[in-house]
Amino acid sequence: MADIKSTRPLTHILLTKIVFMTILFAVAMGAVKSFQTYKTELNRFNQLAEAFSMAHVPLLMSELLNQDKVAIEKHLWLLVVRPEIAAVIVDASSGQQFSAGYITAPDQIDLDVVIPHPHIPEQQIGTLRVTYDTEYLHNTLVAKISLELLELALFTALIYLLIRYIMERNLNKPLQQIAQYTATLSPKRHLHPLVITRPKRRWRDEIDQVIEGFNTLRKSLTRYVDERDRAMAALADEKDQLDHRVTQRTEVIAHINEYLDMLSRISARLIDLPQPEFPIGLRKALYEVAQYHGANACAIANCNTGEAWSWRFIWRDDNAIVDWVEGQLLPSPGKSKGWSISYDKKLPNTLVCCFIGERDSFLLALHGMDEKARDQQERRLAQMTAEAFFKLTERWLSLSELEKCRKELLRLSNTDSLTNLANRRHFDHVRQLENRRAQRSGHPLSLLMLDVDFFKAYNDHYGHDKGDKVLKKLAAVMDEQCQRAGELVARIGGEEFAILLPDQGELSALAVAERIRKSIHDLNIEHRFSTHYRVTLSIGVGTLTQLNQHTPQDQLDSLILRADRALYAAKNSGRNCVVKETDLVHTDTTVEQT
């Protein structure tokens, strides 16, 4: 027997994971806050003790010179009165020692303050030693850390409750209602429409699409249950008639039930398919419908407002005489809104079920059907099939459009709008991935840092519009020169670019850099304020070859720093040149950014 798994609400599973991650976050933040509080309180203690002690040093100067023992001890006891200080000791240069407070360990001295001679600063007349009250420090830290942890816990609990409320309201309750409705689905009885209680909103989501799918299925079930019931009632009324009529009615009922069962299986299978697998699944469903109707070709076409009709999904037998091709345009079947079922006059034996809507329109064509398809019952079955397929196709088109929008948004977020190269954000993400991959494989990783020479002067003289056009040309050249898998060209600043070269050592990286530099030089773009009288690039090359000696982040920071320094060296060397970081003698050279 297969294992029967228990059912758990999806929201409870998600909330369990959220609680676990929240606890981890709270523990981490608590540790960080505790450490920060400890350092803050310790610094405060040091500053307070030192300031308090220094305030009494001038008085102690005169009292030590006058050897006023009573006054000295009085001042020391004034220091000890502070809750942060446990004990104070004054060692006079004459050998006398004065103390106040209680010291648990003789060597526990936290602060030494020299008491100089009031008239001879270089001469020391004593030393003031201060010991902190560690118990008071501990209690203060515990109180502050406990308060901060309590605030963090309350904030975390509030966030959890808000997330739980949102998920219960927007996900768990609709899913429970759908699950309860699903349990009542049956072809043996009439069902009320699936209505979910949800907050009002201005958009549709996947739950709305599931509801539409269920209601489509409910309508089909209800319609054909009614058909079956009427047929059975008619059969009961005519039970006294000839046997062949009873047999005929029985075949009609069996035919309806068989078709209803087939359509229910198809709808349930297609509605659960992942979006990429839907086209294959729908073509298989078209094949099943065509086999049932005795057709040798079955296809769906669609049309959006203002667009031409085109075939979307097609199944056809090898013997079919139609020339339908997916994506092929076809003549408009008409302009009247609503449903229409007819035979195509231009192509014999082709039943066309068409729906013209306000925004989307669909068409289902069955070719090569036998004579029974001319029966009114078969037309109604075909229309019911078309309704289900049209809803499923509309749902798939909506999901496909959403996926296209998501991919386009991702591309725009990772692309520089001017040059269409990768932007700084995408470059930072990829370089982290390539650095970790280099750590695992042990292969080298090279980085080119590129800067347009005297570009500020170019913009000032020729204008920013021409400057932008120059940047586009340079970006196109760089992208053309870096076509190997994994190579990434990115614009990381105004006129600054970076190129990531995975699995390439220093010699290979130098060759790429030199090709790019020469290609830019050969463009011969006029630049009156450049020493080369044309637009040129300075390039710094850095390479990671000795891996696993430091942390990945340290190695990546080192690679960027070395490539930058090589770029600065190229600037200092007259520009329009390539410098590798292994040639650098001094690493602290600075270059004016132009």
Q: Which of 108-112, 156-160, 297-301 has the lowest mean pLDDT?
A: 108-112
End position of a domain, from candidates 138, 171, 189 = 138
Whether 505 contacts 447, CB under 8 Å: no
Same domain flag for 131 and 222: no
What pLDDT score does 240 carry?
Answer: 57
- 65-80, pLDDT tens digit by residue? 766 777 777 777 877 7
**Looking at per-residue confidence, does 189 or 555 come out higher?**
555
Provide mean pLDDT across the span 420-428.
87
Residue 159 lies in a domain: no
Angstrom distance (rounded) from CA 21 to CA 3: 30
Q: What is the 3-state secondary structure (H, E, C) of 324-393?
A: CCCCCECCCCCCCCEEEEEECCCCCCEEEEEEECCCEEEEEEEECCCHHHHCHHHHHHHHHHHHHHHHHH
What pLDDT score does 365 carry?
Answer: 80
What pLDDT score does 368 carry?
Answer: 78
Same domain flag for 460 and 354: no
Q: Which residues contact 336 (CB under 8 A, 6 or more apart)?
A: 356
Provide mean pLDDT across the span 150-167.
81
Which of 138-142, 357-361, 448-452 has the highest mean predicted lDDT (pLDDT)?
A: 448-452
Same domain flag for 456 and 534: yes
What pLDDT score does 306 carry?
Answer: 67
End position of a domain, from candidates 339, 373, 407 = 407
- % of the chain residues with pLDDT over 90: 13
Residue 166 lies in a domain: no
Q: Is residue 408 predicted with pLDDT exceeding 70?
A: no
What pLDDT score does 548 carry?
Answer: 53
Model confidence at 450, in pLDDT bands (50, 70, 90)?
very high
Q: Which of 52-56, 180-184, 295-299 has the lowest mean pLDDT?
A: 52-56
CA 230 to chain centre: 55
Same domain flag for 438 and 577: yes
Same domain flag for 438 and 358: no
Whether 315 contacts 283, CB under 8 Å: yes
Model confidence at 590, in pLDDT bands (50, 70, 90)?
very low
Same domain flag for 341 and 487: no
Model confidence at 176, in pLDDT bands (50, 70, 90)?
confident
Same domain flag for 558 and 448: yes
Same domain flag for 565 and 449: yes
CATH code at 549? 3.30.70.270
CATH code at 368? 3.30.450.40
What pLDDT score does 499 carry?
Answer: 93
Residue where the block lists tokens 């078969």:
378
* Total structural domains within the chain: 3
Q: Is residue 503 predicted with pLDDT exceeding 80?
A: yes
Angstrom distance (rounded) from CA 561 to CA 449: 10
Q: Is residue 111 predicted with pLDDT exceeding 90?
A: no
Name the pTM for this structure.
0.39
CATH code at 134? 3.30.450
What pLDDT score does 588 carry?
Answer: 41
495 among known catalytic residues: yes
Q: Which of 169-183, 195-209, 221-235, 546-560 has the lowest mean pLDDT?
A: 546-560
Selection from 332, 392, 336 nearest residue 363 by Cα: 332
A 10 A CB-CB count for 252 gives 17
Same domain flag for 134 and 97: yes
DSSP track, 118-157 = SS-TTSEEEEEEEEE-HHHHHHHHHHHHHHHHHHHHHHHH
Structure tokens that stand for 103 in this block: 């010291």
What pLDDT score does 1 carry?
Answer: 45
Same domain flag for 438 and 383: no
Same domain flag for 388 and 438: no
Catalytic residue among 495, 496, 581, 592: 495
Q: Which of 84-88, 254-258, 519-523, 537-541 has the lowest mean pLDDT?
A: 254-258
Provide mean pLDDT across the span 313-331.
82
Residue 230 lies in a domain: yes
Same domain flag for 250 and 275: yes
Q: Which of 61-70, 493-502, 531-540 has the lowest mean pLDDT?
A: 61-70
Mean pLDDT of the chain: 77
Provide mean pLDDT across the span 191-199.
73
- 224-280, pLDDT tens digit by residue? 777 777 877 777 776 656 556 656 666 667 767 777 777 777 777 777 777 677 778
Provide mean pLDDT across the span 28-50.
73
Provide the domain limits for residue 21.
10-138
Provide mean pLDDT across the span 43-59.
68
Whether 594 contacts 456, CB under 8 Å: yes
CA distances from 149 to 20, 29, 31, 32, 155 (A): 17, 9, 9, 11, 10
Angstrom distance (rounded) from CA 555 to CA 547: 8
User: Which run of H or E residues covers position 22?
Assistant: helix 10-66
Whether 309 contacts 333, CB under 8 Å: yes
Angle, helices 243-271 vs 206-237, to 10°: value is 170
Q: Is residue 388 predicted with pLDDT exceeding 80?
A: no
Model confidence at 591, in pLDDT bands (50, 70, 90)?
very low
Residue 150 lies in a domain: no
What pLDDT score does 426 carry?
Answer: 87
Angstrom distance (rounded) from CA 424 to CA 558: 18
- % of the chain residues with pLDDT over 70: 81
Residue 168 lies in a domain: no
Residue 124 lies in a domain: yes
**Looking at per-residue confidence, does 208 or 534 come out higher?**
534
Q: Which of 98-112, 197-211, 281-295, 424-438 has the lowest mean pLDDT?
A: 98-112
Residue 591 lies in a domain: no
End position of a domain, from candidates 84, 106, 138 = 138
What pLDDT score does 472 carry?
Answer: 92
Model confidence at 170, in pLDDT bands (50, 70, 90)?
confident
Residue 417 lies in a domain: no
**Looking at per-residue confidence, does 45 or 76 come out higher?**
76
